[in-house]
Structure 1
């Protein structure tokens, strides 16, 4: 595909301007005017490997949201006096082992923190980002780098640059005690994940003595003994301009932006990038045996771990192809074939490159009961040796190169995904051209290159891992006995805000969907509609067939979507059919949701006709194969064994039961006994039913509407469509007559997951929909919401805190709405967290000064979430399916602009304040006070059979 290679080097949307500011900070600028937004990020080349096992890099990332000497304070001079003493006390705490003295120091720190909070404006940084057009504010710490990023509206580029550079000049570590408790919650949350401790143990064994061996979040012992002085030294060492990068992708003018960035980000301290001595990993010596414990009986798990390559290694591209010979998106790899032929229950390859080392591994699930680890390993080695011996066709080799190039191009299509690539590439020390040149390197690869890297890396020196059934002892970080740190200035503004407000802002109106112009709409036949949008960035097409029936109507659809990738047609075997798709650079996948069944095709427009012919043959002539059902049965069995090991999964099942009763998706689904009785013909009969229901087709590509429609009508079985759709399918919500706590007991979990459900009568007034959105954002929408501040920010009572009011589609307005709140917290904080939530619900604080910022948040979301070209028509069709004739966001904003605190209060008093709260709680009863829990309602203990069929 020479055209694609030239596209990657010449298209305007792929041009990245690399520039250095006067302080040596690197800037990457990528103009793309396809969406009315900008993605902005700061990348710091410092991560967990630079503070191994301490967690400093991670909790420093948390503290970067607390403000500076100018942001987040009403009087920094007075606050600093207390913060300096707090820092000294933390250093003393880290040097103290005596429990009584530690408790005394912690109490002093708490008292000082409460006093310092009198000067704090909590969450001012987050509020400023939102006030000036920002959404999706977030950060992340990896082993190699730390990211700070968000999306924002283009007219606020000056404010964004000012705020985000200011944050890096002099960050202040305020509210540290409460934020450290939040990190404790995060640590405990990871500990409740089924395999997290096993993965930690395995990572340590694989990477030792490299710093990658230690968890990013740090050890429990180090988290108990933080040193603010070490965190300050970490900042001074690594947060220098030459060790950082600024990434912007989106709707801006490069020449206009550069002076803005120079005047703001050049304030960041100069400094030399820190020198790092890379720790070399020793080779494995023969077959090094390791076992890990996972609480999943009957299921065997095996892994083979080899030494991989770091991100900049010259063998990386060839190794990617070698791995795709084992696993690929069309399921034609050698390990894929073991799964398809049911020679093992499952097998996959992992190839991950970090900056200083790489992971190369194979994960294998032997068949239940009788297949031994040795037998499964022998099969796997046979597939590896096929690559080492060159036992693969040239057609397969070329098709995998084409697949790799398609994946490269697809990652660069839109602002968000391209910015993610830019951040990763910068963090690896590469230039943008290095990344674009990788397509040329793929083209230049020979079979011999792939054979050589397979021989080089898949050696007889490897780590052999097997699973034992069991659990590791948990280290639970308990709730400290602290007084809540509640700032008094939650609605104040710092003097810094006045500076931002003086910056001129160009007035830009939000960009709304135009149902008539944004997508061409063509009726192909009764009940069949084609939506066409143009792809202006490459020659890759996507075609989605959206049939209007989902899992809530046909309960075996999830099994159908899992089964179809394993079958072929009456005239072609699986290998031939999938091989032909792969040679064209095309993929065919399936999915099902509550209200639709999706057939998704991707490929190159130059091969559209041939791809449609293959897909049409599959839709008309898919051939049942009962042998392939064994894979579906095995997957269902693994689900049965693992589902109840995850408290998040159990909480989701319990909430479904509380909201929908016997209509819960987990009670209407096929049981395991029913799955075992399935036949291939039964599932393909269901597929025929699906194809008879009304269908929307969504094509995004370079072909004309007429040509795309002609090929689709020629090859796809649209004549089968004859039944109108019932979608969106809405289930009845449960009502209750008294407060109730549905409780599911789970041993050995540190965190409790709490859902609070409220039934809300059908909304009466037309304006209730927009105001419900405003209320939901005010109450539990983001970091500035009441729930977040009162429960997490001020009291550290929970890690996950959110709420959502969900009403039915417009054309189902007679149906009720639901309000669901969620908390995830340590069990010893659960009652406290629930009491605060109850107070918020039944006596909601009035904060009229926040209403404008909440309205601005909604405006930002509407503007910044304008869809990509591939999702435009899907969004339009989705709105139409719900009964809208135009973009509802336009009407919403017009109504919301007129709203005041009085409107929020009216909605709250009519629909929320006096309504019953029904709780769904998953936790460890041995660690909680059940008598206190009964204050929130009659406790109904739930068993597995009550929530899962």
Structure 2
């Protein structure tokens, strides 16, 4: 016999709180891998920054919560630094810096070099040649020399050496102003990792270019198939009519991709890949005093050189409301662009708060309310801040049926005017500051994410102190400052970019049809032989002790509790997972979605969401075909209040039938986007191959069936799901536990 859902849940959570209060959490694991706690108003993230004699910046952040290190090298250069006649060079170079050096990636560089030089020269000729037949002849010669050079190449040797020391997540990315190379590795392999990473950026060799060119071709075709890429590139070209932010893209133009210059790539490397324009980032389980001498020895070899100043591109302000109309999307999409501030501007923090009043993670903003009230399908403010310029994109999507661009634009602009007039309450102001704080400290929580954030801070010319104390600036932002920046930057001059339904013709990059290169196998470079002979430290493994490090308890009534201490910061996360197999709960995916818009008998949806955000908390309801999950995250000291608020919502949730129309419109929009997205179509085909007629795409409700659903039936489905087997997962700092 099934137990009352709310009674079951309340009993389980009370048991959870009592059990944790009495048992506490063992410190056996935390003593070995402990981290200082981040508390509001004070950041305890340890960071040490110093500069080597050659100008290389070193940023170290010890984190002993796990036996891993995230290491990377960042360069203050990206696609904005590409030559105007060779866009995409920064990204191409990122790929080539995985191909080795004169000592790594080749069995005999002296014999390989003549063929590589001939390939470089042939690509220069290819870029100048316009005659199709002559180009084919040059490409044939490129292929012939690539095959000969391939006899000496050891492809992926660098990746394999990194994996040999336990590395994972080997990757890199290029953006407007940053290129970052990184991976995770065990602490006892630090010296070998430093040996390889310091070597990879000295005397690199751009080998295997033929095969990498085909990879970039595929990358360009993939992004061209995504309508969002074309939409944003077109928008940016109108947002920045002179600056590379709008006139160049990371992958480069199709013409430049077809005609790469390896000579200009080397010029780019020698210009920007110098020690004084780079930084070494390390976050993880290490002792600074132990690794510092190794860093100085290995990375101190890099050369430094003056870096040319980036030219200034003067962008004229928009003249009133500048309108651009295109047909580039499967549904109507609007982008409204405002010029704002660059990185490190004194108004940056105030604009951050200003934007969160419009849309935030707790969905309490002025734009969020338009969506919740089903007045528009989507509306949100997306700030983009770079070193030279900044802008905000007001993204809106009109309702699928019956709403024009002009009506949707009027709705969002009216809310923007409300902000500029100061028509928002102080509770919302303080709530969004909590929203920023939670996002800030949870971003720093993960060691890999922290390394990326520190790399970005370096390229933005921020000190680590400024970056880590950003939340303190947020706390001091006043209501008057928010109103001031809203009026200053969201004024009468802006770009309106309206896309209606249309599918523009896309140019495909055809592969040249080269004969594949057959690299040498089973051989090792001189560097690899040296690398393998380097001694590695032996370290004792550290295992999670499931008896001491995790509190687990059977609370009865098919309920199990799992509690772990958060040793990093004062954020809690609570997950309630109810077993709910899809074959028994046909409409639970829709029901879970609509629970995100539930109110109670005495509180509206807006009141509930605002109360959560004031507590520095957010929540969500999801369903993954196996579990119905209630998730909460927030500031630890407010855990009990947030839990009481969630219990009041779960006790007797209310759903207005009007919300069903909103859900139906959302699903309709999502499915139109699915049909226009090749990756989504590919995913559906892959699932059909695996599951046949049992594919979730075939088994899900149709739009007609969704339209017929009643709110009360969906609430009954949720309550029924909450009577099943329950897992409670709680992560919190010890004072909150």
What TM-score bracket applies, with the shorter chain setting the length? over 0.9
1:346 aligns with 2:378: yes
Q: Which residue number corresponds to residue 58 of structure 2?
A: 27
Deviation (angstroms), 1:567: 1.6
Asked if 1:260 corresponds to 2:294, the answer is: yes
**Structure 1 residue aligned with 2:270:** 236
> Quick check: 2:55–2:304 contact (8 Å CA) kept in 1?
yes
For 2:313, the equivalent position in structure 1 comes to 279
Who is 2:390 aligned against? 358
How far apart, in 2, do the equivalents of 1:367 and 1:101 lie? Answer: 53
- The match for 2:641 is 610
Deviation readout 1:106-137 (Å, 9 max, x if unpaired): 11111111101111111101100101121110
SS of the equivalent of 2:466 reads helix
Q: Secondary structure at the match of 2:173?
A: strand
In structure 2, distance between residues paired with 1:561 and 1:45: 44
Which aligned pairs between 1:450-529 and structure 2 lie closer than 5 A? Answer: 450-487=482-519, 489-529=520-560
Q: CA RMSD in A?
A: 1.7
TM-score of the aligned structures, taking structure 2 as reference length? 0.92
SS at match of 1:633: helix
Are 2:566 and 2:731, in contact at CA under 8 Å, matched by a contact in 1? yes
Deviations 1:731-783 (A, max 9, x none): xxxxxxxxxxxxxxxxxxxxxxxxxxxxxxxxxxxxxxxxxxxxxxxxxxxxx
- Counterpart of 1:101? 134
Structure 2: distance between partners of 1:6 and 1:702: 11
Residues 18 and 29, structure 1, Cα contact 8 Å, conserved in 2:
yes
Instruction: Find the partner of 2:189 among 141, 156, 164.
Output: 156
Residue in 2 that maps onto 1:87: 120
> How far, CA to CA, are the matches of 1:477 and 1:537 in structure 2?
48
Shift of 1:375: 2.1
2: distance between equivalents of 1:69 and 1:408? 42
- Quote the Cα distance in structure 2 between the aligned partners of 1:524 and 1:641: 45
Are 2:723 and 1:687 aligned?
A: no
Instruction: Give the alignment of 1:22-421 within 5 angstroms.
Output: 22-51=53-82, 52=84, 54-213=87-246, 214-296=248-330, 299-421=331-453
Does residue 566 of structure 2 align to residue 532 of structure 1?
no
SS of structure 2 residue aligned to 1:137: strand
Change (3 A) 1:290 1:510: farther
> Are the counterparts in 2 of residues 5 and 440 from structure 1 also a CA contact under 8 Å?
no
TM-score normalised by length of structure 1:
0.72
Secondary structure in 1 aligned to 2:727?
strand
Matching of residue 432 in structure 1 with residue 467 in structure 2: no
Once residues 580 and 598 of structure 1 are traced to their aligned partners in structure 2, the CA distance between those partners, rounded to angstroms, is 21
For 1:621 and 1:10, the matched residues in 2 are separated by 40
- Choose 203-212 or 225-234, whichever is displaced more: 203-212
Q: 1:567–1:628: 8 Å Cα contact kept in structure 2?
A: no
- State the shift of 1:551 in Å: 4.1
Spell out, residue by residue over 1:662-698, the C-alpha distance to the aligned partner (whole angstroms, 9 max, x if none): 2111111111111111111111111101110111111
Is the 1:30–1:248 contact (alpha carbons within 8 Å) kept by the matching residues of 2? Answer: yes
Contact 1:71/1:124 (8 A) holds in 2:
yes
Maintained 8 Å contact 2:573/2:634: yes
Contact 2:41 2:472 (8 Å CA) reproduced? no
Count of aligned pairs between the two proteins:
699
CA–CA separation in structure 2 for the residues paired with 1:655 and 1:82: 42
Q: Is the 8 A contact 1:568 1:622 kept in 2?
A: yes
TM-fit CA distance, 1:237? 0.3
Q: What is aligned with 2:4?
A: none
1:56–1:231 contact (8 Å) kept in structure 2? yes
Unpaired segments of 5 or more residues in structure 2?
1-35
Q: Which moved more, 1:246-255 or 1:649-658?
A: 649-658
Q: Distance in 1 between matches of 2:645 and 2:284?
A: 37
**SS of the residue 2:141 aligns to:** helix
Change (3 A) 1:658 1:435: same
Of 639, 655, 658, the residue aligned with 1:624 is: 655
CA distance in 2, matches of 1:509, 1:595: 38
Structure showing greater relative contact order (alpha-carbon pairs closer than 8 Å, 6 or more residues apart): 2
Contact 1:327/1:336 (<8 A) preserved: yes
Mapped contact 1:550–1:557 kept (Cα < 8 A): no
Q: Give, in whole Å, the separation in 1 of the partners of 2:240 and 2:725.
A: 53
In structure 1, distance between residues paired with 2:310 and 2:335? 31
